Structure formats: C-alpha cells, structure tokens
Amino acid sequence: MEKIIVKLDNVSKNFDKVKVVKNINLNIKDGEFLTILGPSGCGKTTILKMIAGFFNPTEGHIYIDGEDIAKLEPYQIPVNTIFQNHALFPHLNVRKNIEFGLKMKKISKNKRTIEVNKMLKLVKLDKLDNRLPIQLSGGQKQRVAIARALVNHPKVLLLDEPLSSLDLKLKKEMMLELKKIKQNLGITFIYVTHDQEEALTMSDRIVIINKGKIEQIDTPVNIYNYPKTKFVADFIGESNLLKGIITKIDNNIATIKIGNIEVLALNQINKVNDNVHLLIRPEQLKITKTKPNNQFLKGTITDHLYQGDIIKTFVNVDDLSLKINRFNEQELLPLNSEVYISWDIEDALIIQD
Ligand SMILES: Nc1ncnc2c1ncn2[C@@H]1O[C@H](COP(=O)(O)OP(=O)(O)OP(=O)(O)O)[C@@H](O)[C@H]1O
Ligand SMILES: [Mg+2]
C-alpha cells in the first residue's frame, strides 16, 4: 500500500465566522505531485497555510507522516513553502541565499558546500552562483527560491502559485523543470494554482476546489475527460454545456431534450426526468456541409476566431451557440452558411445538474 504523507481529516477554517474552507478530506501520497486548483478566493492559500502550520484549522486535524501537526511548533513541521513573491535576500548572492537555511541549522562549512553545489546543479545555476538577485531574471530568481527550499530536504514542499509572475514561455520551461526536479528528488509537492495548464501538465492528481469545498479529486486525464460536476466541466478546458432533461432511457442510451432539440447520449447513472447538462468539448465536434452518418444538429456559422494552430468556429443551433475547434489547415466555410455539426455518441458526457 502507498504511504500517506499528508492527511487532512475533515478540515475547516473560519475567518470572522465565515467558513472559507469546508470539511476537506484529503490523503496525499508520499512522493506525489498534488495540485490544488480553483478560482481566486476559493481557499487554496488558506489550505496551504494550515498544512504549513501558519494557521490552525477551526475544525479537523492535519497529520504529516502520521503526526498531528497541532502538537508541533511551525518550525518543527517538516515542510518548506515557496510563496509567489520569492523574497530572496537582496544583499546575498545566489550561493549564500541557498546556503542560508543550512547555516541556521549550524551545518559544517564542508557539508554546506557539498549540499549547495548539488542544488546549484539541480536548478542549473552553477555558473551564476556569484550573482546577486538583482542580476537575475524572474525565472532564475524562481529557481534560487526552489533550491533554497529544497536544500533543507523537506518531506513536503508547498508551492503557492510560484510561476504566476513569469511570462508564458518561461512559465512553460519552469513547468517542465519543476516536474523533472520533483522526479529526481522524489519528495512530495503540494502545488497551488488557478492555472489549469500548470495543473494538467505537472500533477499526478488534481484537487478542484470551489468556494472552499472539494468538487473532484482525480488524475489530470480523468478531470478533463470525466468531470463529475458542471463546475469542473466549465473550469477545466473549454466546453459546450447544454442544459436539458432526460426524456427516455433505452438500454444505456438516454434521450435528452435540449430546448426544441433531442439528442442521444450514453447514460451512466441518470433517470428519466433528471435535469442534466450535456458536455461536448469543442474538439469533439465536426462541421460538414454534407449530412453526416452519426448524430448531428443543423446550424448556421456565426463567427470564426483565428487562434494560430486552431480556428474556433461558432455555430448557432436554435437558441444555442456551440463552439467548435478545428485545425488551421481545414477549409473555412463562409459566415451564415448552413452546416451540420456532428459528434460520436461516446464523446458527449452527461453531467448531473
Ligand atoms: N486572514 C484572513 N482574514 C480574513 N479573511 C481571510 C483571511 N485570509 C483569507 N481570507 C478570505 O478567505 C477566502 C479564501 O482566501 P485564500 O487566500 O485562501 O484564497 P485563494 O484561493 O488562495 O485565492 P487566490 O487565488 O486569489 O490566491 C477569501 O475570501 C479571503 O478573502
Ligand atoms: Mg492564494
């Protein structure tokens, strides 16, 4: 069985009687890259601060390596935190910034040098060890902050939106690097972000939080392909979410009435008269001028949005506006043309209202 390194047992947090974190139960596995993902203000930082021991939970308990952290002083809790503003010591060079924690722990000079050299290599700053923070780029500063946290060999590394101040290209590079560092060291990462791309790219599992509550805990692939709630379907990726009601179930096929339209979808758990949403991702829809063989709707093209590698086309079907992603090389049909939109029945997912 896999070891659980961090356990949140029914954890809640109130600020001035307002419950901002609500009954969180979470088992984080040793060596896992777990991401807490949710919109601004949903409680992510509050959860992280409770794990680091900066706040006590109003209700519930947090265990690290089997020990209730309520009994420990913050400095005894075996975690290190990297905050968004990396706050390096401005007057110390890269090497001394990384070395600082070891000095505080009174580690011998020799041992410190060996450890710091290892870290400098790991974050690829071995040639810049003499520079001051002001002489570094944003991504380099971020790497110093990571090395400075890792040199203490924490059991768990907490990262609060560490890449949000970087430009897109640097952010993508750092995403790959963080993933590699994590694989090399095998320590547990608890990573907080509101950026779904970061979450999908790096995580072993993602916890989606909405208004202080867990909506879903799952692998990135399952979160994207099988969102359990409308919130998750909407928050992750792009979606066409069509509100309707189930009017018939025959074998495992449900008939869903969406406005004046009826479509078929695979049914898992629903019953006749259930209010549902049908989720179809924009890349699952096809546009054709000729009548397709699979399930289709008829509509009119209202807009094309050019996005480089793909073109997003909007089609009106009755009162609905559907978005469809198509690769750039495909032929563009003119605005106002009548088209068929089709999809494979297994590519649509019924989500409970
Ligand atoms: N010390 C505090 N006192 C009172 N309310 C607080 C305090 N800290 C946070 N809150 C409130 O708790 C809620 C959750 O805040 P939190 O910082 O955990 O959100 P977040 O998910 O990290 O958001 P963001 O993505 O913007 O960083 C917010 O409504 C916030 O205003
Ligand atoms: Mg936050």
pLDDT digits 0-9 by tens, 169-180 = 878 888 888 888
CATH of domain 281-344: 2.40.50.100
Chain centre distance of CA 75: 28
Instruction: Supply the pTM of this predicted model.
Output: 0.89
Q: Atom 25 in ligand 1: which residue has the minimum CA distance?
A: 40
> Domain spanning 4-234: which superfamily?
P-loop containing nucleotide triphosphate hydrolases (3.40.50.300)
Average pLDDT of the segment spanning 42-51: 96
CA distance 122 to 150: 10
- Please tell me the number of the ligand nearest to residue 44's CA: 1
The pocket of ion ligand 2, defined by CB under 5 A, consists of: 45
Residue 318 pLDDT grade (very low, low, confident, very high; cuts 50, 70, 90): confident
Q: Do domains 4-234 and 281-344 have the same CATH topology?
A: no
Question: Of 166 and 340, which is predicted with more confidence?
Answer: 340
The percentage of the chain sitting over the pLDDT mark of 90, rounded to a whole number, equals 73
DSSP, residue by residue, 57-73: -SEEEEEETTEEGGGS-
**pLDDT (tens digit per residue) in 237-282:** 999 999 999 999 999 999 999 988 899 999 989 999 999 999 999 9
**What integer pLDDT is reported at residue 86 of this predicted model?**
67
User: Does position 331 have pLDDT exceeding 80, yes or no?
Assistant: no
CB 231 within 8 A of CB 244: no
Residues 6+ apart with CB under 8 A from 272: 246, 247, 248, 249
User: Does position 227 have pLDDT exceeding 90, yes or no?
Assistant: yes
The alpha carbon of 45 and the centre of ligand 1 are apart by a number of angstroms equal to: 7
Q: Which spans in the chain are helix H?
A: 44-52, 94-104, 109-122, 138-150, 168-185, 196-202, 220-225, 230-235
Residue 55 CA: which ligand 1 atom is closest?
1
User: Does position 135 have pLDDT exceeding 90, yes or no?
Assistant: yes
Q: Terminal CA-to-CA distance of the chain, rounded, Å?
A: 36
Asked whether 194 lines ligand 1 (CB < 6 A), one says yes
Residue 48 CA: which ligand 1 atom is closest?
18
User: Does position 97 have pLDDT exceeding 90, yes or no?
Assistant: yes
**What integer pLDDT is reported at residue 113 of this predicted model?**
96
Q: Atom 8 in ligand 1: which residue has the minimum CA distance?
A: 46
User: Does position 345 have pLDDT exceeding 90, yes or no?
Assistant: yes
Residue 338 pLDDT grade (very low, low, confident, very high; cuts 50, 70, 90): very high
Q: Report the greatest alpha carbon distance in the chain.
A: 76
Residue 13 CA: which ligand 1 atom is closest?
12
Average pLDDT score, the chain: 92
**What integer pLDDT is reported at residue 329 of this predicted model?**
66
The alpha carbon of 233 and the centre of ligand 1 are apart by a number of angstroms equal to: 24
**CA-based nearest residue to 57, from 12, 9, 10:** 12
Domain ranges across the chain: 4-234, 241-278, 281-344
Residue 137 pLDDT grade (very low, low, confident, very high; cuts 50, 70, 90): confident
**What integer pLDDT is reported at residue 205 of this predicted model?**
98
The side-by-side arrangement of strands in the sheet containing 320-327 is 286-288, 338-342, 296-306, 310-317, 320-327
Q: Atom 17 in ligand 1: which residue has the minimum CA distance?
A: 45
